[in-house]
Amino acid sequence: MPAKKQLLLLRHAKAEGISAEKADIDRILLPSGQDHAHQIGNYIQNTIGTPDQILCSPAQRAQQTMKELDLSPTNIKIEPTLYGAYGSTLLKRIEEQSKTIKTLLLIAHNPSISQLASRLAGTFLGDLPTCGLVHLKINATCWTEVSEASTTLLAPSYAKKEDKTSKN
C-alpha cells in the first residue's frame, strides 16, 4: 500500500475589499479574517499537525493568513506563481514537491483553489469560503502522482463565523 500524503488546500482569510487606492496584491486581512485564520491554525495543529511545507501566494492577505495560522513550519515558500494562477498551475507546483514531504499546505485564491480542491476530491465542493480548508489524504508515494492517485476527502473545515445577529 502506497504511503499516504496529506494535502491541505486553504483559501486566504477574509480581506478588505477591492479599492482604487490599493493594488489587489496589497489587500490586507480584516480583523474577522485574522480570527478565522487563527481558528483554522488551531484546527490544523490539533487534528493534523504542523505541515512539512507551506506554499503561499505572495499576496499580502495570503501571507497574513499564513502568519495567523501560527503553525511554525520549518519550510515556507512564497510562490509568485500562485497569485492569479489557474488550478493547473497550482497542481503543477504541488507535483514539483519533494517526495520526502508528507503534509503540504497550499494557501491561494479563488476560483483556482476551489477548482483544484473539487478536482482532487473527485466531487464538486463549490466555492470555498474565505479561510475554507480542504484536507485530502492521497494514496501516493510522491507528489508527481497526485492527479492520478485515489484520494480521501476528510471533512472540509471552514472557519466558524460568529453570529452577531443572535440575541441572548
User: CA distances (Å), 90 to each of 39, 40, 106, 156, in order?
Assistant: 25, 21, 8, 19
Name beta bridge partners: 136: 7, 153
Residue 72: predicted pLDDT: 81
Tell me the three cell numbers of residue 27: 489587500
Name beta bridge partners: 132: 158
Angle at 66 between CA 70 and CA 155, to 5 degrees: 85
Res. 163: pLDDT tops 60: no
Q: How confident is the model at residue 1 (pLDDT cuts 50, 70, 90)?
A: low
Q: How confident is the model at residue 11 (pLDDT cuts 50, 70, 90)?
A: very high
Over range 85-103, report the average pLDDT: 95
pLDDT tens-digit map of 120-157: 999 999 999 999 999 999 999 999 999 888 889 887 76
Higher pLDDT, 79 or 167: 79
Residue 164: predicted pLDDT: 36
Provide CB contacts within 8 A for 67, sequence distance 6+.
none
Res. 2: pLDDT tops 80: no
Provide CB contacts within 8 A for 144, sequence distance 6+.
95
**Which of the 8 DSSP states describes residue 151?**
E
The Cα–Cα gap between 77 and 107 comes to 10
Average pLDDT score over the chain: 89
pLDDT tens-digit map of 24-38: 999 999 999 999 999
Residue 74: predicted pLDDT: 74
Domains of the chain in sequence order? 4-158 (3.40.50.1240)
Res. 159: pLDDT tops 60: no
Residue 150: predicted pLDDT: 87
Residue 148: predicted pLDDT: 87
Helix, strand, or coil here: 79?
coil
Cis peptide before 73 (omega within 30 of 0): no
